[in-house]
Chain A
Amino acid sequence: MITKSILFLASMFFGVVFATEMALYPTGPSQDSAFVRFVNGSESSLEIVASGSKSKILLNEKKPSSNFFPIAANKEIKGQFVGETFKSDVALTVKPGEFVSAVAVLKDNKLKPIIVRETPDDFNSLKASVALYNLSGSQCNVASLVIVGKGVNLVEKVQQNQIARRSINPLNISVELSCDNKNTGINFNLGNLQAGKRYTLFALPGSKSAHLKFTEDTLQ
């Protein structure tokens, strides 16, 4: 009787243990996500055409940037920026966790892709995140963004081909581009920034002076 009771208790005990034992399952992906987008940094319309396919996206004044596409990390992708008079091949590889922008700019009368890499760690659904990519070459050696009406910098002293990103409270703000510590009069209204969203302002070379383009960093 005592033996039976002990066995019963043991089976109850082990039954509980075995019931909770489970198969090993993944606790995450084999590697972090990787993203790429294509941006028209010139002053006329372009298309980005994927290599080996007929897929293409129009990048114009209204929508200068594609969404961020999730792609396989560490695997080269190729394409071509195609404009009315200019073309430029682009090839790049994205590492896990990176958000890469391929930005086509016109330099010395040639279309040239600039590859900009971000590995963000400022994800925050209570803040808006705004970046400045200074790709304007010698037209703006050191770029800052001044919040109009406040006189304070949103981001400051961004060198050529560098980026700066800042998390801010979601507000409706306008910014002015400052180059080499001089206000340029080039203003941009960012509109109602929303919490949890990410945005990028591109400072780009222009026919007369640097210009700004703005996009939300939307995931496809």
Chain B
Amino acid sequence: MATTTLLAGLSILVIGDSHLAFPDHLLNSLHNDLLAQGAQVHSIGVCGSNPVDWVKGAKGTCGKAEKIGTSPAKVYGMTEGTIPIKELIKSEKTNLVVIVQGDTIASYDKPSLPKSWIWQQVSTLSREVGETNTKCIWVGPAWGSEGGKFRKTFARVEELSNLIEKNVSPCQYLNSLKLSKPGAWATIDGQHFTAPGYKLWGEAITEAIVSSKGLTK
């Protein structure tokens, strides 16, 4: 992406699940793209984390990584966990929170979407951020590819995205399904993209943030 100053002056906190928990995922691509637009950026990913895990803090199960500014990504142990979002916002004087969450609450391997549980998960975290009067963008799940060990399907991810979208207020919803065609970005397991896929997703998220009205000014 071209370097600009469109996000200059913003302190952006990016939190999320496995899509952020490894350096060759969004942790580098999205983070560096936001940096290139002039923002201060702190990204934290905890593999397998659910939205509510970011309210009180919870142990991880499959990896955590973090990147601050231009420093190299720091990779932690498998059980390193989340940090409560209000603590992070307060300590970093965050202007904009970007939440990358969706695939860990989809129940891809179950016959139906656990709507009540998802409603609790999504509304609890978005309300928690809302109480700090910090602007936020919820980045929903991307298409991925059907099958794989997580048993992701296009129908389920679309159903999930629609449910999340209705419940993220006061955050704004960034619908990742509109950023590519189904299956367009190659995956390694149906759910996680190859490095080129994460590069494209990171660029598309950054472009959407830059062009979203009311969030960056």
Partner-B contacts on A (CB < 8 A): 16-17, 19-35, 96-97, 99, 120-121, 123-126, 195-196, 219
Q: Contact: B115 with A32, CB < 8 Å?
A: yes
Contact A27 B104, CB 8 Å, known A20-B188, A20-B192, A21-B189: yes
Set of chain A residues within 8 Å of B167, measured between Cβ atoms: 123-125, 196
Contacts A19-B22, A19-B24, A22-B192 known; list 13 others, CB within 8 Å. A17-B188, A20-B22, A24-B149, A25-B48, A25-B62, A27-B150, A33-B114, A34-B116, A97-B116, A120-B116, A121-B115, A123-B123, A195-B169
Shortest distance from the beta carbon of B106 to any chain A beta carbon, whole Å: 5
Give the CA-CA distance A21 to B121 in the complex, in Å: 26
Closest residue on chain A to residue B149 by CB atoms: A24
Is B5 among interface residues, defined by CB-CB distance under 8 A? Answer: no
Shortest distance from the beta carbon of A199 to any chain B beta carbon, whole Å: 15
Shortest distance from the beta carbon of A98 to any chain B beta carbon, whole Å: 8
Partner-A contacts on B (CB < 8 A): 18, 22-25, 47-48, 61-63, 103-110, 112, 114-120, 123, 126-127, 149-150, 163, 166-170, 188-189, 191-192, 194-195
The 7 closest A-B pairs by CB, nearest first: A28-B107, A32-B114, A25-B48, A125-B169, A123-B119, A33-B117, A33-B116
Give the CA-CA distance A23 to B47 in the complex, in Å: 9
Q: Contact: B116 with A28, CB < 8 Å?
A: no
Shortest distance from the beta carbon of B91 to any chain A beta carbon, whole Å: 27
Contact A124 B62, CB 8 Å, known A20-B24, A25-B48, A33-B117: no
Q: Contact: A126 with B107, CB < 8 Å?
A: no
Q: Contact: B169 with A24, CB < 8 Å?
A: no
Give the CA-CA distance A177 to B118 in the complex, in Å: 34
Q: Contact: A16 with B115, CB < 8 Å?
A: no
Q: Which of B106, B116, B123, B150 has the most CB of A within 10 A?
A: B116
Q: Contact: A32 with B166, CB < 8 Å?
A: no
Q: Contact: A27 with B22, CB < 8 Å?
A: no
Set of chain B residues within 8 Å of A29, measured between Cβ atoms: 107, 114, 117
Set of chain B residues within 8 Å of A120, measured between Cβ atoms: 115-116
Closest residue on chain A to residue B104 by CB atoms: A27
Shortest distance from the beta carbon of A31 to any chain B beta carbon, whole Å: 7
Provide 15 A-B residue pairs closer than 8 Å at the C-beta atoms, listed in order of the A residue: A23-B61, A25-B48, A25-B61, A27-B150, A28-B104, A32-B112, A35-B116, A97-B115, A99-B116, A120-B115, A124-B167, A125-B166, A126-B166, A126-B169, A196-B169
Q: Contact: B150 with A24, CB < 8 Å?
A: yes
Set of chain B residues within 8 Å of A32, measured between Cβ atoms: 112, 114-117
Checking A20, A31, A126 against B114 with a beta-carbon cut-off of 8 angstroms, the contacting residue is: A31
Q: Contact: B106 with A28, CB < 8 Å?
A: yes
Shortest distance from the beta carbon of B29 to any chain A beta carbon, whole Å: 12
Q: Contact: B169 with A123, CB < 8 Å?
A: no
Give the CA-CA distance A125 to B122 in the complex, in Å: 10
Set of chain A residues within 8 Å of B127, measured between Cβ atoms: 196
Give the CA-CA distance A123 to B119 in the complex, in Å: 7
Closest residue on chain B to residue A21 by CB atoms: B188
Set of chain B residues within 8 Å of A23, measured between Cβ atoms: 61-62
Q: Contact: A27 with B108, CB < 8 Å?
A: yes
Q: Which of A22, A97, A121 has the most CB of B within 10 A?
A: A22
Set of chain B residues within 8 Å of A17, measured between Cβ atoms: 188, 194
Q: Contact: A27 with B105, CB < 8 Å?
A: yes
Set of chain A residues within 8 Å of B189, measured between Cβ atoms: 21
